[in-house]
Structure 1
Amino acid sequence: VGLSLDQIRAFHWAPTAQQDLFADAIRQTLDDTIDLRQQILDLADAADTRAKARLLDDATTFTRRARDLADLCLGAFFSEAKPAAREKERLRRLALARAWLGDDDADTAAEVRRLAAEFRSEIPAFHWMLELPEVFYAERPDPLAGGKPGVAWMDAFVGNPPFLGGRRVRSELGDAYTEWLGTAFEASMNADLSAHFFTRAHALLGPHGAAGLIATNTIAQGDTRTSGLAKLIASGAALYDATDSLPWPGEAAVTVSVVHFAVGEPSDHTRPFRLGGRVVPAINSRLRPTPERPAPASLSANATLSYNGCLVLGLGFTITTDERASLVTRDGRNAERIFPYLGGQEVNNSPTQTFSRYVISFGNLSLREAEAWPDLLEIVRERVKPERDRVRRDTHRKYWWHFGDKRPALQAALAPLPRCLVTSIVSKHLLFAWQPTDRIFSHKLYVFPVATWPWFTVLQSRIHAAWTWLLSSTMKTDLNYSASDCFDTFPFPPDMADEALADAGEALYTARAAYLIAENQGLTATYNQLKDAAITTEPIQHLRALHDALDRAVIRAYGWYQHDPDGHPLRATQGHPIPPRPPPHRAPPPPTP
Structure 2
Amino acid sequence: MLDPACGSGNFLYLSLLALKDLEHRANLEAEALGCSREFPAVGPECVLGIELNPYAAELARVSVWIGEIQWMRRNGFEASRNPILRSLGNIECRDAVLDVETGRRAAWPEANVVVGNPPFLGGSKKRSELGLEYTETLKAAWPHVPGGVDLVCYWFAGAWDRMVACKLERAGLVSTNSIRGGANREVIKPIVAHGRIFEAWGDEAWTVDGAAVRVSLICFERERGDETPSLNGLPVDKINSDLTDFPFDLTSALRLSENKSTCFEGGQKHGPFEVDDDTARAWLQAPRNPNGRPNSDVLRRFVNATDIVRRMSDAWVVDFGAVMSEHEAAFFEQPFEHIHEHVKPVRMKSSLAAHRDYWWRHHRTRPELRKALGGKSRYLVTPVVAKHRVFTWLTMNYWPTNLVDAIARDDDTTFGILHSRFHELWALGMGTSLEDRPRYTPSTTFETFPFPEGLTPATPAADYAEDPRAQAISTAAARLNELRENWLNPPDLIERVPEVVPGYPDRILPKDEAAAQVLKKRTLTNLYNQRPAWLDHAHRALDEAVADAYGWGDDFRAGTLTDDEILARLFHLNQERAARQ
For residue 366 of structure 1, report the CA deviation from its aligned partner. Answer: 2.6
Report the equivalent of 1:551.
Answer: 543
Spell out the pairing of 1:478-497 with structure 2 (5 A cutoff).
478-496=437-455, 497=464
Change in CA separation of 1:493 and 1:187 when aligned onto 2, cut-off 3 Å: same
For residue 458 of structure 1, report the CA deviation from its aligned partner. Answer: 0.5
Contact 1:298 1:488 in 2 (8 A): yes
**Secondary structure of the residue that 2:149 maps to in structure 1?**
coil
Change in CA separation of 1:458 and 1:501 when aligned onto 2, cut-off 3 Å: same
Residues 1:238 and 2:196 aligned together:
yes
For residue 355 of structure 1, report the CA deviation from its aligned partner. Answer: 5.3
Farther off after superposition, 244-253 or 154-163: 244-253
Report the equivalent of 1:434.
Answer: 393
Match of 2:484 among 509, 512, 534: 512
- Structure 1, unmatched stretches of 5+, are 1-45, 47-52, 57-73, 79-118, 136-153, 531-539, 571-577
**Secondary structure of the residue that 1:553 maps to in structure 2?**
helix
Report the equivalent of 1:467.
Answer: 426
Contact 2:117 2:173 in 1 (8 A): yes
Residues 1:204 and 2:162 aligned together:
yes
Distance 2:107 2:414 in 1: 54
For residue 217 of structure 1, report the CA deviation from its aligned partner. Answer: 0.7
**Secondary structure of the residue that 1:434 maps to in structure 2?**
strand
Contact 1:281 1:290 in 2 (8 A): no
For residue 390 of structure 1, report the CA deviation from its aligned partner. Answer: 2.5
For residue 335 of structure 1, report the CA deviation from its aligned partner. Answer: 3.5
Report the equivalent of 1:223.
Answer: 183
Report the equivalent of 1:275.
Answer: 231
Report the equivalent of 2:147.
Answer: 189
Report the equivalent of 2:265.
Answer: 308
Report the equivalent of 1:528.
Answer: 529
For residue 423 of structure 1, report the CA deviation from its aligned partner. Answer: 0.8
Report the equivalent of 1:144.
Answer: none
Report the equivalent of 2:417.
Answer: 458
Contact 1:283 1:292 in 2 (8 A): no
Match of 2:557 among 560, 566, 586: 566
Residues 1:169 and 2:126 aligned together:
yes
Contact 1:199 1:232 in 2 (8 A): no
Change in CA separation of 1:413 and 1:581 when aligned onto 2, cut-off 3 Å: closer
Contact 2:179 2:432 in 1 (8 A): no
Contact 1:569 1:579 in 2 (8 A): no
For residue 331 of structure 1, report the CA deviation from its aligned partner. Answer: 4.1
- Taking only aligned residues, the RMSD between alpha carbons, in angstroms, comes to 2.9
Farther off after superposition, 176-185 or 400-409: 176-185
Report the equivalent of 1:90.
Answer: none
Contact 2:256 2:574 in 1 (8 A): no
Distance 1:334 1:214 in 2: 52
Distance 2:560 2:348 in 1: 56
Change in CA separation of 1:290 and 1:585 when aligned onto 2, cut-off 3 Å: closer
Distance 1:584 1:222 in 2: 20
Task: Give deviations 1:337-370, integer Å, cap 9, x for gaps.
Answer: 22222222111112xxx55221112233332333
Report the equivalent of 2:214.
Answer: 255
Report the equivalent of 1:290.
Answer: 246
Task: Give the aligned residue type for 1:501.
Answer: I
Contact 1:285 1:292 in 2 (8 A): no
Distance 1:587 1:202 in 2: 28
For residue 375 of structure 1, report the CA deviation from its aligned partner. Answer: 2.2
Task: Give deviations 1:522-579, integer Å, cap 9, x for gaps.
Answer: 211111111xxxxxxxxx2111111111111111111124x37436667xxxxxxx49
For residue 334 of structure 1, report the CA deviation from its aligned partner. Answer: 3.2
For residue 191 of structure 1, report the CA deviation from its aligned partner. Answer: 0.9
For residue 288 of structure 1, report the CA deviation from its aligned partner. Answer: 0.8
For residue 389 of structure 1, report the CA deviation from its aligned partner. Answer: 2.0
**Secondary structure of the residue that 1:244 maps to in structure 2?**
strand
TM-score, normalised on structure 2? 0.68
Distance 1:528 1:263 in 2: 43
**Secondary structure of the residue that 2:152 maps to in structure 1?**
helix
Task: Give deviations 1:20-73, integer Å, cap 9, x for gaps.
Answer: xxxxxxxxxxxxxxxxxxxxxxxxxx9xxxxxx9xx9xxxxxxxxxxxxxxxxx
Change in CA separation of 1:579 and 1:180 when aligned onto 2, cut-off 3 Å: closer
Distance 1:124 1:300 in 2: 39
For residue 470 of structure 1, report the CA deviation from its aligned partner. Answer: 0.8
Match of 2:310 among 330, 333, 349: 349
Report the equivalent of 1:389.
Answer: 348
For residue 245 of structure 1, report the CA deviation from its aligned partner. Answer: 1.3
For residue 330 of structure 1, report the CA deviation from its aligned partner. Answer: 4.9
Distance 2:565 2:318 in 1: 53
Report the equivalent of 2:471.
Answer: 499
Change in CA separation of 1:166 and 1:418 when aligned onto 2, cut-off 3 Å: same
For residue 393 of structure 1, report the CA deviation from its aligned partner. Answer: 1.2
Report the equivalent of 2:318.
Answer: 360
Contact 2:254 2:574 in 1 (8 A): no
Distance 1:586 1:331 in 2: 55
Distance 2:200 2:106 in 1: 29
Spell out the pairing of 1:568-583 with structure 2 (5 A cutoff).
578=562
Runs of 4+ residues deviating >6 angstroms = 579-587
Task: Give deviations 1:284-337, integer Å, cap 9, x for gaps.
Answer: 1111123563521111111111112222222x2111221112334454543342
For residue 373 of structure 1, report the CA deviation from its aligned partner. Answer: 2.8
For residue 450 of structure 1, report the CA deviation from its aligned partner. Answer: 0.9
For residue 378 of structure 1, report the CA deviation from its aligned partner. Answer: 2.2
**Secondary structure of the residue that 1:261 maps to in structure 2?**
strand
**Secondary structure of the residue that 2:489 maps to in structure 1?**
helix
- Structure 2, unmatched stretches of 5+, are 1-79, 81-86, 90-97, 289-293, 456-463, 465-469, 491-517, 576-581
Distance 2:488 2:560 in 1: 26
Match of 1:157 among 107, 111, 114: 114
Distance 1:278 1:209 in 2: 23
For residue 582 of structure 1, report the CA deviation from its aligned partner. Answer: 7.5
**Secondary structure of the residue that 2:212 maps to in structure 1?**
coil
Contact 1:185 1:199 in 2 (8 A): no
Change in CA separation of 1:568 and 1:392 when aligned onto 2, cut-off 3 Å: farther
Match of 1:214 among 174, 180, 193: 174
Contact 2:115 2:171 in 1 (8 A): yes
* Higher fraction of helix: 1
Distance 2:571 2:190 in 1: 30
Contact 1:218 1:473 in 2 (8 A): yes
Match of 1:409 among 368, 381, 404: 368
For residue 590 of structure 1, report the CA deviation from its aligned partner. Answer: 7.7
Identity among equivalent pairs (%): 29
Higher relative contact order (CA 8 A, sep 6+): 2
Report the equivalent of 2:301.
Answer: 340
Farther off after superposition, 294-303 or 327-336: 327-336
Distance 2:242 2:262 in 1: 26
Report the equivalent of 1:36.
Answer: none
